């Protein structure tokens, strides 16, 4: 059993920078579970769990049939004391699993955004790459770590952390999303060339901030449960 399970939902949304942090740790064994191609394993014995992004929606009746099963699986892991890091769609799954909610936003948020963090040692304020059409109502008793004028950008609930943005991305990942999007969101939400330029401009700083975020969460997840 790997001690860190990473749920990947599609080929163009990999762990990116996070994979580098996990594989660089000699005490960490990472297993990527390709949810679109294999069954979810038992979370028993895992030290930590990461849920990555997806084009799918986690909004109740509007979600794909498999989403409810993943929410239940994450709830089981969380109740067993396995720390969960949810990224974008993963943050929405985490919120739903812990008793929060997910709702459709009036308009998508795509682009590099700064988030006013209340704990910059754990969560730098960015800029971070945002690409989502849904947002969360945090679980009861969760601590909101960042919120902008659009939505809650990050929350913590015990050992669990959800971030609505994408700290894992690299410029090639962003380029893949632009290509996959075609002209769907680009025609009404963002300018592809401007997004490419911003991604190149922010890449170095974002990578350093992501290293800090991932390393602190990984160290925290390694601590014995209270």
Express each pLDDT in 47-88 by its tens digit: 999 999 999 999 976 678 899 999 999 999 999 999 999 999
Q: Looking at residue 188, what is its pLDDT?
A: 87
Mean residue pLDDT of the chain comes to 92
pTM for the model stands at 0.94
pLDDT of residue 167: 97
pLDDT at 129 over 50: yes
pLDDT of 36 reads 86
Question: What number is the average pLDDT over the span 109-127?
Answer: 93
For residue 44, what pLDDT is reported? 86
User: Which tops the pLDDT comparison, 130 or 120?
Assistant: 130
Name which of 168, 225, 175 is nearest 200 in CA terms: 175
- At residue 146, φ and ψ (nearest 5 deg) are -160, 140
CA atoms within 13 A on the CB side of 213: 29
Contact of 198 with 190, CB cutoff 8 Å: no
The pLDDT tens digits for 3-39 are: 899 999 999 999 999 999 988 878 788 999 999 889 9
pLDDT at 204 over 70: yes
**Residue 62 confidence (pLDDT):** 61
β-partners of residue 117 are 146
Q: Angle at CA 156, nearest 5°, toward 127 and 175?
A: 35
Mean pLDDT of 81-107: 96
* Alpha-carbon gap, residue 94 to 113, rounded angstroms: 22
**Mean pLDDT computed over 101-120:** 94
The confidence band for 224, taking pLDDT boundaries of 50, 70 and 90, is low
Mean pLDDT computed over 141-170 = 96
Candidate from 72-81, 124-133, 181-190 with smallest mean pLDDT: 181-190
Q: Hey, what are 28's tokens?
A: 């960490």
Q: Three-state SS across the chain?
A: CCCEEEEECCCCCCCCHHHHHHHHCCCCCEEEEECCCCCCCCCCCCCEEEECCCCCCCCHHHCCHHHHHHHHHHHHHHHCCCCEEEECHHHHHHHHHCCCEEEEEEEEEEEEECCCECCCCCCCCCCEEEEEEEEEECCCCCEEEEECCCCEEEEEECCEEEECCECCCCHHHHHHHHHHHCCCCCCCCCCHHHHHHHHHHHHHHHHHHHHHHHHHHHHHHCCCCC
pLDDT number for residue 1: 45
pLDDT at 148: 94
Res 61: pLDDT: 60
155 pLDDT higher than 60? yes
Beta-sheet pairing, 128-137 with 101-113 = antiparallel
More confident residue, 226 or 174: 174
Residues labelled as active-site residues: 88, 166, 168
Report which of 31, 17, 11, 45 is spatially closest to residue 166, judged by C-alpha positions: 17
* Alpha-carbon dihedral sign for residues 209, 149, 146, 131: negative
pLDDT at position 225 over 60 = no
Question: What is the topology classification, in CATH, of domain 4-221?
Answer: Rossmann fold (3.40.50)
Inter-residue contact 132 to 212 (CB < 8 Å): no
């Amino acid at each position: 059993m790997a001690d860190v399970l990473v749920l990947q939902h599609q080929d163009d949304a990999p762990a990116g920078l996070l994979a580098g942090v996990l594989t660089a740790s000699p005490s960490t064994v990472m297993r990527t579970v390709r949810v679109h191609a294999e069954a979810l394993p038992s979370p028993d014995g895992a030290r930590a769990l990461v849920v990555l992004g997806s084009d799918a929606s986690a909004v109740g009746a509007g979600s794909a049939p498999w989403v409810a099963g993943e929410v239940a699986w994450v709830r089981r892991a969380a109740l067993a004391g396995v720390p969960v890091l949810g990224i974008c769609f993963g943050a929405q799954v985490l919120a739903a699993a812990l008793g929060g909610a997910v709702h459709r936003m009036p308009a998508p948020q795509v682009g590099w955004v700064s988030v006013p963090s209340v704990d910059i040692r754990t969560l730098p304020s960015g800029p971070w790459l945002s690409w989502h059409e849904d947002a969360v109502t945090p679980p009861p008793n969760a601590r909101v770590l960042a919120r902008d004028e659009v939505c809650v950008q990050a929350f913590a609930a015990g050992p669990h952390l959800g971030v609505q943005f994408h700290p894992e991305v690299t410029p090639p990942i962003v380029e893949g999303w632009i290509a996959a999007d075609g002209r769907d969101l680009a025609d009404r939400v963002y300018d592809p060339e401007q997004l490419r330029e911003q991604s190149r401009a922010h890449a170095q700083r974002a990578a350093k901030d992501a290293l800090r975020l991932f390393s602190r969460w990984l160290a925290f997840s390694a601590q014995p449960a209270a």
